[in-house]
Structure 1
Amino acid sequence: MVDATTFPTDGYIAESAARMTGCTLRPVTPSEVPGALGDRTAAVLLNHVDYRTGRLHDLPSLTAAVHAAGAYAVWDLCHSAGALPVGLDRHGVDLAVGCTYKYLNGGPGSPAFLYVRADLQDRFDSPLPGWNSHAEPFGMRPGYEPAAGAVRGRVGTPDILSMLALEAALEVWDGVAVDTVRAKSLALTDFFLECVEEYVPEGRVACVTPRAHAERGSQIALRCPDAGAVMERLIERGVVGDFRHPDVLRFGFTPLYVGFADVERAARVLAEVLA
């Protein structure tokens, strides 16, 4: 099963995995997952936060439902890691993947990450074995023997410059509690919505991100008929969000360095562009 609203790349990978293993791929929305699970379900790939709308899905309850059906739970954390508590170990998630260039601030091209639950690591069989995941990488043996633990998830030589940049970015997190980051994230997004409602002409945009904190990631998505052109004008004025087809303006809030003055200015410039 794959999240029907997923970022396209996840769907491509899920389709490839199904094809190579002889499984059937079934796209369903996260809300449909509990009712769609059955004894033939092998694995379920879901996004923690919807990349278009910013909706935060219920990782604990969905993971529990997947496990009750005897399947593996796989989560994409690209839009949640570094912005809010995830709790992979606490909730028994089997596998997870994500990027480091968003809320972890690694910059363009920074490394991705893989999580394999500790008790599954000795059974994890990577479809992309490489010399860097070999038990004896410099042994140059013709046969592959995976390294112990999480190291077996590696493939080839990592991009060293990107790793150095990411290392520096992660040092900023020393002493920072993710719960504090989450509290500021919610405060920033609340304030942005308040400013948009105050400044933007009524009816010009519509918020598609859930208002409830328990259902919101660290972004706000606004539906706007001419979103593509509007975002171009925003970027020209130094307000850098992005456009998602066909009509969504997406604004991400990285709590470590985005301040309330930035948020107010973004909403004010948006109102001026839309006036």
Structure 2
Amino acid sequence: MTEDPRLPRELLERAAELDARDPLAGFREEFVLPEGVLAYLDGNSLGRPLAVTAGRLARFVEEEWGERLIRAWDERWLERPTVVGDLIGRTVLGAAAGQTVVGDSTTVLLYKLLRAAVDARPDRTEIVADTENFPTDRFVVTQVAAETGRTVRWIAPDPAAGVSLTEVEGVVGERTAVVLLSHVAYKSAYLADLPGITAAAHRAGALVLWDLCHSAGVVDVRLDEADVDLAVGCSYKFLNGGPGAPAFGYVAARLQDELVQPIPGWMGHAEPFAMGPDYAPASGIRRFLSGTPPILSMIPVEDMLTLVARAGMPAVREKSVLLTGYVLEVADAVLAPLGVTVASPRDPASRAGHVLLEHDAMEAVVAELWRRGVIPDFRRPRGLRIGLSPLSTSFAELATALAHVDQLIRSRGA
């Protein structure tokens, strides 16, 4: 077995050509790129850190935290959840100021916004969700339904695709309180019709809560333009906030006074330091905060958003389409004859930032890839998921990774 697997020459030349004309190629050098990692293909689970972040965190400890101490809450930290929220909204969500806030985990924010939305439609008895959504989303839907006496109308989409507009139109109606869906399917990368589904739910009088975990920072999301009601997303994937970085919540301005925050806490109080006997919600988006926000974790997010703003989301999306398209080229030319199938949409308009390749040997292949310094992830029962963060991934890196996949599947007698 060769120690240096390579793709056929035409595919290597194609990768070199794409790198040569990539306007975003220079951004890759701004990330931490350890020598032991040949290819990182898991940016849709945990993004690489930016090199600049290490210095910023050190300065924060020495200066902002170390020197200002508790005074920093009054000076800037109290406003950080909404300041960073507005930055996320402006840079990657297509959201005007005052509608996005940072705080809590994705799970907690999903619960809060779903519960608030259901409670805002007391005469409606159903929540619409899908069986292929990320486990957290399904668990939260089931719990909120049990707490509020609602029924869940489950859509069962094609696992290799995702929830379609037609499927949603077939289940929403006068009993629907809320529709909760992921904009991007976490397995297949299917990109749902966010504007169309939102409009369909509104025609039925329902609210929509979108999970943007796999779209924020890689798909050109336009929440205000689509008249979206509510959204939640994490910041450790394409926003590179680091492990456990906080989630963000979006609540359209028109709904902020109507919805009741189900987990009231001191940080969402109109006067956080009044310490009075009763809860009075803050005005605007701030009322959706609960406890003390993770100030440290917002620093890496700010750094990545600065990078994304420089690149521009349209350019990020364009490179994402090219990266996933290159995976399909290699899969068709090299991996398909070995029995590998593509379980992601082929239409780039319906495909987000990752590709799922399926083969019975993939669990063992992924384990060996990690030992070699090629890092995708494995999705049961037989999927290798290639997550491609456009600003930190080169086409040459991707070609190297796919060559190793090819070699390992061949070595298993495919």
The runs of 5 or more residues in structure 2 that have no matched partner are 1-127, 158-162
Corresponding residue of 1:249:
384
Residue 101 of structure 1 pairs with residue 236 of structure 2: yes
After superposition, where does 1:161-176 map in structure 2 within 5 Å?
Answer: 161-176=296-311
Corresponding residue of 2:143:
16
Aligned equivalents of 1:13 and 1:255: distance in 2? 31
Range that drifts further, 46-55 or 119-128: 119-128
User: Secondary structure, in 3 states, of the residue corresponding to 1:181?
Assistant: helix
Tell whether the 8 Å contact from 1:195 to 1:268 is kept in structure 2 after alignment: no
Aligned equivalents of 2:302 and 2:292: distance in 1? 16
Residue 231 of structure 1 pairs with residue 366 of structure 2: yes
Cα shift at 1:179: 0.8
Of the three residues 14, 26, 29, the one matched with 2:153 is 26
Tell whether the 8 Å contact from 2:129 to 2:179 is kept in structure 1 after alignment: yes
Aligned equivalents of 1:104 and 1:204: distance in 2? 34
Cα shift at 1:155: 1.4
TM-score normalised by structure 1 residue count:
0.96
Tell whether the 8 Å contact from 1:133 to 1:152 is kept in structure 2 after alignment: yes
Tell whether the 8 Å contact from 1:199 to 1:267 is kept in structure 2 after alignment: no
Post-superposition Cα deviations, 1:146-182, rounded to whole Å, max 9, x if no partner, equal: 1111111111112222122222222222322111101
Corresponding residue of 1:5:
132
Corresponding residue of 1:142:
277
Residue 213 of structure 1 pairs with residue 340 of structure 2: no
Of the three residues 252, 255, 266, the one matched with 2:401 is 266
**How much is the aligned-residue C-alpha RMSD, in angstroms?**
1.2
User: Secondary structure, in 3 states, of the residue corresponding to 1:202?
Assistant: helix
| Larger RCO of the pair (alpha carbons < 8 Å, separation 6+) | 2
Post-superposition Cα deviations, 1:4-54, rounded to whole Å, max 9, x if no partner, equal: 210010011111111222211121142321111111010000111110111
Tell whether the 8 Å contact from 1:3 to 1:47 is kept in structure 2 after alignment: no
Of the three residues 200, 208, 213, the one matched with 1:73 is 208
Aligned equivalents of 1:256 and 1:169: distance in 2? 10
Tell whether the 8 Å contact from 2:218 to 2:316 is kept in structure 1 after alignment: yes
Aligned equivalents of 2:277 and 2:141: distance in 1? 30
Cα shift at 1:107: 1.6
Range that drifts further, 222-231 or 33-42: 222-231
User: Secondary structure, in 3 states, of the residue corresponding to 1:173?
Assistant: helix
Tell whether the 8 Å contact from 2:178 to 2:208 is kept in structure 1 after alignment: yes
User: Secondary structure, in 3 states, of the residue corresponding to 2:331?
Assistant: helix
The percent of aligned pairs where both chains have the same amino acid is 46
Cα shift at 1:248: 1.0
Amino acid in structure 2 at the alignment position of 1:90: E
Of the three residues 182, 189, 194, the one matched with 2:324 is 189
Post-superposition Cα deviations, 1:64-95, rounded to whole Å, max 9, x if no partner, equal: 11000000011000001100111110001100
Change over 3 Å in CA distance of 1:201–1:44 after alignment to 2: closer
- Structure with max Cα Rg: 2
Aligned equivalents of 2:288 and 2:375: distance in 1? 34
Higher helix share: 2
Aligned equivalents of 1:11 and 1:49: distance in 2? 15
Cα shift at 1:201: 6.0
- Give the total of aligned pairs: 275
Of the three residues 182, 201, 206, the one matched with 1:47 is 182
Residue 129 of structure 1 pairs with residue 253 of structure 2: no
Range that drifts further, 33-42 or 20-29: 20-29
Tell whether the 8 Å contact from 1:129 to 1:155 is kept in structure 2 after alignment: yes
User: Secondary structure, in 3 states, of the residue corresponding to 2:308?
Assistant: coil
Aligned equivalents of 2:200 and 2:338: distance in 1? 39
Tell whether the 8 Å contact from 1:199 to 1:268 is kept in structure 2 after alignment: no
User: Secondary structure, in 3 states, of the residue corresponding to 1:209?
Assistant: coil
Aligned equivalents of 2:287 and 2:338: distance in 1? 53
Aligned equivalents of 1:258 and 1:128: distance in 2? 39
Amino acid in structure 1 at the alignment position of 2:132: T
Amino acid in structure 2 at the alignment position of 1:4: T
Corresponding residue of 2:192:
57
The runs of 5 or more residues in structure 1 that have no matched partner are none
Cα shift at 1:214: 1.2
Amino acid in structure 1 at the alignment position of 2:141: A
Amino acid in structure 2 at the alignment position of 1:264: A
TM-score normalised by structure 2 residue count:
0.65
User: Secondary structure, in 3 states, of the residue corresponding to 2:315?
Assistant: helix
Range that drifts further, 153-162 or 136-145: 153-162
User: Secondary structure, in 3 states, of the residue corresponding to 2:310?
Assistant: coil
